[in-house]
A and B are shown apart, each in its own frame.
Chain A
Amino acid sequence: MPDITNDMQFIPLSYYIAFCTALFAIGVIGVLVKRNALIIFMSVELMLNSANLLLAAFSAYRNDPAGQIFVFFIMVVAAAEVAIGLALLVMIYRSTHTIDINVLNKLKW
Protein backbone atom coordinates (compact mmCIF):
# COMPACT_ATOMS: atom_id res chain seq x y z
CA MET A 1 0.00 0.00 0.00
CA PRO A 2 1.35 3.45 -0.82
CA ASP A 3 2.45 5.70 1.97
CA ILE A 4 1.12 9.21 1.50
CA THR A 5 2.74 10.80 4.52
CA ASN A 6 5.20 12.74 2.41
CA ASP A 7 2.97 14.71 0.10
CA MET A 8 0.02 15.48 2.37
CA GLN A 9 -0.27 17.45 5.55
CA PHE A 10 -2.77 16.37 8.14
CA ILE A 11 -2.91 15.51 11.81
CA PRO A 12 -0.34 12.79 12.49
CA LEU A 13 -1.73 9.50 13.74
CA SER A 14 0.62 9.66 16.73
CA TYR A 15 -1.35 12.65 18.06
CA TYR A 16 -4.43 10.47 18.26
CA ILE A 17 -2.44 7.71 19.95
CA ALA A 18 -1.15 10.16 22.56
CA PHE A 19 -4.55 11.71 23.18
CA CYS A 20 -6.38 8.40 23.50
CA THR A 21 -3.70 6.97 25.75
CA ALA A 22 -3.98 10.04 27.97
CA LEU A 23 -7.76 9.59 28.24
CA PHE A 24 -7.30 5.90 28.98
CA ALA A 25 -4.71 6.66 31.69
CA ILE A 26 -7.10 9.15 33.29
CA GLY A 27 -9.73 6.40 33.34
CA VAL A 28 -7.28 3.97 34.95
CA ILE A 29 -6.35 6.53 37.60
CA GLY A 30 -10.05 7.14 38.26
CA VAL A 31 -10.68 3.44 38.83
CA LEU A 32 -7.71 3.21 41.18
CA VAL A 33 -8.29 6.42 43.15
CA LYS A 34 -12.04 6.59 43.67
CA ARG A 35 -14.17 4.65 46.12
CA ASN A 36 -17.52 5.86 44.79
CA ALA A 37 -18.86 3.05 42.60
CA LEU A 38 -20.64 5.51 40.31
CA ILE A 39 -17.44 7.41 39.51
CA ILE A 40 -15.57 4.16 38.95
CA PHE A 41 -18.28 3.19 36.48
CA MET A 42 -17.88 6.52 34.69
CA SER A 43 -14.11 6.02 34.49
CA VAL A 44 -14.73 2.67 32.83
CA GLU A 45 -16.92 4.46 30.28
CA LEU A 46 -14.10 6.93 29.68
CA MET A 47 -11.65 4.10 28.96
CA LEU A 48 -14.15 2.46 26.62
CA ASN A 49 -14.51 5.73 24.73
CA SER A 50 -10.80 6.32 24.34
CA ALA A 51 -10.40 2.83 22.87
CA ASN A 52 -13.33 3.56 20.54
CA LEU A 53 -11.81 6.80 19.33
CA LEU A 54 -8.45 5.17 18.62
CA LEU A 55 -10.18 2.38 16.69
CA ALA A 56 -12.07 4.95 14.61
CA ALA A 57 -8.85 6.89 14.01
CA PHE A 58 -6.99 3.81 12.76
CA SER A 59 -9.96 2.95 10.60
CA ALA A 60 -10.04 6.41 9.03
CA TYR A 61 -6.28 6.53 8.41
CA ARG A 62 -6.21 3.06 6.87
CA ASN A 63 -9.40 3.55 4.88
CA ASP A 64 -11.00 0.39 6.30
CA PRO A 65 -14.68 0.60 7.25
CA ALA A 66 -14.56 -2.54 9.43
CA GLY A 67 -12.99 -0.56 12.26
CA GLN A 68 -15.87 1.89 12.39
CA ILE A 69 -18.39 -0.97 12.34
CA PHE A 70 -16.57 -2.41 15.34
CA VAL A 71 -16.87 0.93 17.11
CA PHE A 72 -20.60 0.84 16.43
CA PHE A 73 -20.88 -2.64 17.96
CA ILE A 74 -18.79 -1.60 20.96
CA MET A 75 -21.19 1.31 21.53
CA VAL A 76 -24.13 -1.10 21.40
CA VAL A 77 -22.53 -3.41 23.95
CA ALA A 78 -21.61 -0.42 26.13
CA ALA A 79 -25.23 0.75 26.17
CA ALA A 80 -26.41 -2.69 27.34
CA GLU A 81 -23.59 -2.83 29.88
CA VAL A 82 -24.51 0.55 31.36
CA ALA A 83 -28.15 -0.46 31.77
CA ILE A 84 -27.21 -3.65 33.63
CA GLY A 85 -24.45 -1.97 35.65
CA LEU A 86 -26.66 0.83 36.88
CA ALA A 87 -29.38 -1.68 37.80
CA LEU A 88 -26.79 -3.54 39.86
CA LEU A 89 -25.69 -0.27 41.45
CA VAL A 90 -29.28 0.52 42.43
CA MET A 91 -29.61 -2.97 43.92
CA ILE A 92 -26.40 -2.54 45.92
CA TYR A 93 -27.59 0.83 47.16
CA ARG A 94 -30.92 -0.66 48.25
CA SER A 95 -29.31 -3.44 50.26
CA THR A 96 -26.32 -1.61 51.79
CA HIS A 97 -27.45 2.07 51.67
CA THR A 98 -24.10 3.15 50.31
CA ILE A 99 -22.16 2.94 47.08
CA ASP A 100 -18.79 2.84 48.77
CA ILE A 101 -17.00 -0.14 47.24
CA ASN A 102 -15.04 -0.82 50.43
CA VAL A 103 -18.27 -2.03 52.01
CA LEU A 104 -18.54 -4.72 49.36
CA ASN A 105 -15.59 -6.82 50.49
CA LYS A 106 -17.35 -10.09 51.27
CA LEU A 107 -15.70 -11.77 48.26
CA LYS A 108 -12.34 -10.14 48.81
CA TRP A 109 -10.30 -12.94 50.38
Chain B
Amino acid sequence: MFSEYLFFIISIAAIYSALMVLISKKPIHSVLYLTLCFFAIAGHYILLNAQFLAVVHIIVYAGAIMVLFLFTVMLLNLNIENDFKKPRLIKFAAVISGSIFFLLMIAVLKSYDIAIVQNPALTQIGLVKNLGNVLFKDYLLPFEITSILFLAAMVGAVMIGKKDIY
Protein backbone atom coordinates (compact mmCIF):
# COMPACT_ATOMS: atom_id res chain seq x y z
CA MET B 1 0.00 0.00 0.00
CA PHE B 2 2.80 2.35 0.96
CA SER B 3 4.64 1.74 -2.32
CA GLU B 4 1.45 2.52 -4.20
CA TYR B 5 1.22 5.95 -2.58
CA LEU B 6 4.90 6.48 -3.35
CA PHE B 7 4.25 5.51 -6.97
CA PHE B 8 1.49 8.09 -7.29
CA ILE B 9 3.52 10.87 -5.67
CA ILE B 10 6.55 10.24 -7.89
CA SER B 11 4.38 9.87 -10.99
CA ILE B 12 2.60 13.16 -10.36
CA ALA B 13 5.94 14.89 -9.76
CA ALA B 14 7.34 13.45 -13.00
CA ILE B 15 4.34 14.37 -15.14
CA TYR B 16 4.09 17.84 -13.59
CA SER B 17 7.76 18.59 -14.30
CA ALA B 18 7.46 17.10 -17.80
CA LEU B 19 4.56 19.44 -18.49
CA MET B 20 6.49 22.38 -17.06
CA VAL B 21 9.31 21.61 -19.52
CA LEU B 22 6.87 22.51 -22.28
CA ILE B 23 5.08 25.34 -20.48
CA SER B 24 7.98 27.35 -19.08
CA LYS B 25 9.14 30.25 -21.22
CA LYS B 26 12.88 30.27 -20.63
CA PRO B 27 14.97 27.33 -21.87
CA ILE B 28 16.96 27.22 -18.64
CA HIS B 29 13.79 26.58 -16.62
CA SER B 30 12.93 23.79 -19.03
CA VAL B 31 16.34 22.21 -18.45
CA LEU B 32 15.94 22.38 -14.67
CA TYR B 33 12.43 20.93 -14.80
CA LEU B 34 13.71 18.12 -17.02
CA THR B 35 16.36 17.37 -14.39
CA LEU B 36 13.60 17.15 -11.78
CA CYS B 37 11.69 14.79 -14.06
CA PHE B 38 14.77 12.58 -14.42
CA PHE B 39 15.14 12.40 -10.65
CA ALA B 40 11.52 11.30 -10.38
CA ILE B 41 12.17 8.59 -12.97
CA ALA B 42 15.18 7.47 -10.92
CA GLY B 43 12.75 7.13 -8.00
CA HIS B 44 10.65 4.86 -10.17
CA TYR B 45 13.69 2.68 -10.86
CA ILE B 46 14.28 2.36 -7.13
CA LEU B 47 10.62 1.45 -6.68
CA LEU B 48 11.15 -1.36 -9.21
CA ASN B 49 14.18 -2.50 -7.20
CA ALA B 50 16.43 -1.74 -10.17
CA GLN B 51 19.11 -0.07 -8.09
CA PHE B 52 21.90 -0.26 -10.65
CA LEU B 53 19.73 1.43 -13.26
CA ALA B 54 18.68 4.11 -10.77
CA VAL B 55 22.28 5.03 -10.01
CA VAL B 56 23.33 4.91 -13.67
CA HIS B 57 20.31 7.01 -14.59
CA ILE B 58 21.19 9.71 -12.07
CA ILE B 59 24.87 9.75 -13.08
CA VAL B 60 24.28 9.70 -16.82
CA TYR B 61 21.19 11.86 -17.17
CA ALA B 62 21.13 14.24 -14.22
CA GLY B 63 24.91 14.32 -13.95
CA ALA B 64 26.18 14.35 -17.53
CA ILE B 65 23.45 15.03 -20.05
CA MET B 66 21.69 17.82 -18.19
CA VAL B 67 25.02 19.51 -17.44
CA LEU B 68 25.72 19.38 -21.18
CA PHE B 69 22.35 21.00 -21.85
CA LEU B 70 23.00 23.67 -19.22
CA PHE B 71 26.43 24.40 -20.73
CA THR B 72 24.89 24.79 -24.17
CA VAL B 73 22.18 27.11 -22.90
CA MET B 74 24.53 29.23 -20.83
CA LEU B 75 27.60 29.38 -23.07
CA LEU B 76 25.63 30.22 -26.20
CA ASN B 77 23.41 32.71 -24.40
CA LEU B 78 20.32 30.88 -25.53
CA ASN B 79 18.29 31.84 -22.49
CA ILE B 80 16.06 34.14 -24.46
CA GLU B 81 12.31 34.12 -24.00
CA ASN B 82 11.32 32.39 -27.17
CA ASP B 83 9.76 34.99 -29.40
CA PHE B 84 9.20 32.44 -32.12
CA LYS B 85 5.84 30.83 -31.68
CA LYS B 86 3.81 28.43 -33.71
CA PRO B 87 0.31 29.38 -34.82
CA ARG B 88 -2.40 28.61 -32.31
CA LEU B 89 -4.12 26.20 -34.68
CA ILE B 90 -1.00 24.07 -35.02
CA LYS B 91 -0.53 24.00 -31.25
CA PHE B 92 -4.13 22.93 -30.78
CA ALA B 93 -3.79 20.21 -33.41
CA ALA B 94 -0.55 19.00 -31.80
CA VAL B 95 -2.13 18.69 -28.36
CA ILE B 96 -5.16 16.90 -29.79
CA SER B 97 -3.04 14.44 -31.75
CA GLY B 98 -0.80 13.83 -28.74
CA SER B 99 -3.83 13.05 -26.58
CA ILE B 100 -5.24 10.74 -29.24
CA PHE B 101 -1.88 8.98 -29.35
CA PHE B 102 -2.03 8.53 -25.56
CA LEU B 103 -5.55 7.07 -25.69
CA LEU B 104 -4.62 4.80 -28.58
CA MET B 105 -1.57 3.39 -26.79
CA ILE B 106 -3.57 2.83 -23.61
CA ALA B 107 -6.30 1.04 -25.56
CA VAL B 108 -3.82 -1.15 -27.42
CA LEU B 109 -1.77 -2.09 -24.36
CA LYS B 110 -4.86 -2.67 -22.24
CA SER B 111 -6.04 -5.49 -24.47
CA TYR B 112 -2.84 -7.44 -23.86
CA ASP B 113 -2.73 -9.81 -20.96
CA ILE B 114 0.87 -9.69 -19.81
CA ALA B 115 1.78 -12.55 -17.52
CA ILE B 116 3.38 -11.36 -14.30
CA VAL B 117 5.76 -13.88 -12.81
CA GLN B 118 7.46 -11.89 -10.09
CA ASN B 119 6.61 -9.35 -7.45
CA PRO B 120 8.82 -6.41 -8.47
CA ALA B 121 9.54 -5.49 -4.86
CA LEU B 122 11.15 -8.90 -4.28
CA THR B 123 13.02 -9.31 -7.52
CA GLN B 124 16.79 -9.54 -7.30
CA ILE B 125 17.73 -8.99 -10.93
CA GLY B 126 18.23 -5.25 -10.59
CA LEU B 127 21.12 -5.54 -8.15
CA VAL B 128 24.62 -4.74 -9.36
CA LYS B 129 25.89 -8.28 -8.74
CA ASN B 130 23.26 -10.04 -10.85
CA LEU B 131 23.23 -7.47 -13.63
CA GLY B 132 27.02 -7.52 -13.78
CA ASN B 133 26.96 -11.29 -14.13
CA VAL B 134 24.58 -11.10 -17.08
CA LEU B 135 26.37 -8.14 -18.65
CA PHE B 136 29.82 -9.68 -18.61
CA LYS B 137 28.71 -13.22 -19.51
CA ASP B 138 25.98 -12.94 -22.12
CA TYR B 139 26.43 -9.40 -23.36
CA LEU B 140 30.19 -8.98 -23.33
CA LEU B 141 30.57 -8.28 -27.06
CA PRO B 142 27.90 -5.54 -27.20
CA PHE B 143 29.47 -4.01 -24.11
CA GLU B 144 32.86 -3.81 -25.84
CA ILE B 145 31.35 -2.47 -29.05
CA THR B 146 29.76 0.31 -27.00
CA SER B 147 33.23 1.65 -26.28
CA ILE B 148 33.85 1.98 -30.04
CA LEU B 149 30.56 3.86 -30.28
CA PHE B 150 31.72 6.23 -27.55
CA LEU B 151 35.05 6.77 -29.29
CA ALA B 152 33.24 7.57 -32.53
CA ALA B 153 30.87 9.93 -30.72
CA MET B 154 33.79 11.71 -29.05
CA VAL B 155 35.68 12.18 -32.31
CA GLY B 156 32.48 13.25 -34.06
CA ALA B 157 31.56 15.79 -31.42
CA VAL B 158 35.03 17.33 -31.54
CA MET B 159 35.01 17.42 -35.34
CA ILE B 160 31.54 18.99 -35.56
CA GLY B 161 32.25 21.46 -32.78
CA LYS B 162 35.49 22.73 -34.30
CA LYS B 163 35.32 26.27 -35.56
CA ASP B 164 36.79 26.02 -39.03
CA ILE B 165 37.01 22.57 -40.51
CA TYR B 166 36.58 23.71 -44.07
Contact = CB atoms under 8 A, between A and B. Distances in A.
Interface of A: 1-5, 8-11, 13-15, 17-19, 21-30, 32-36, 38-39, 41-43, 45-46, 49, 52-53, 56-66, 68-69, 71-73, 75-84, 86-91, 93-94, 98-100, 102
A49 B48 contact: no
Given A65-B130, A80-B152, 7 more contacts: A24-B102, A38-B73, A57-B120, A60-B48, A63-B117, A65-B125, A76-B146
A86 B125 contact: no
Nearest to B10: A19
Contact of B91 (A22, A33, A42, A88): A33
Contacts of A39: 21-22, 27, 30
Contacts of A36: 27, 82, 84
A74 B34 CA distance: 18
A42 B117 contact: no
Interface string B89-117: 01101110111011001100110001111
Interface in B107-166: 109-110, 114-121, 123, 125-126, 130-131, 134-135, 138-139, 142, 146, 149-150, 152-154, 156-157, 160-161, 163
Given A23-B15, A82-B68, A61 B91 contact: no
Q: How many B residues are at the interface, by size bracket?
A: 35 or more
Q: Identify whether the interface residues of A are mostly helix, strand, loop, or mixed.
A: helix
The 4 A-B residue pairs with the shortest CB-CB distance, nearest first, are A32-B94, A80-B153, A29-B98, A63-B118
Given A10-B121, A59-B125, A90-B76, A35 B53 contact: no
8 contacts: A21-B102, A23-B15, A25-B99, A28-B97, A63-B125, A68-B50, A78-B65, A100-B84
Interface of B: 1, 3-4, 7, 11, 14-15, 18-19, 21-22, 27, 30-31, 34, 37-38, 41, 44-45, 47-50, 52-53, 56-57, 60-61, 64-65, 68-69, 72-73, 76, 78, 82, 84-86, 90-91, 93-95, 97-99, 101-102, 105-106, 109-110, 114-121, 123, 125-126, 130-131, 134-135, 138-139, 142, 146, 149-150, 152-154, 156-157, 160-161, 163
A24 B27 contact: no
A29 B22 contact: yes
Contacts of A30: 21-22
A56 B50 contact: yes
Nearest to B48: A60
Contact of B134 (A11, A33, A66, A83): A66
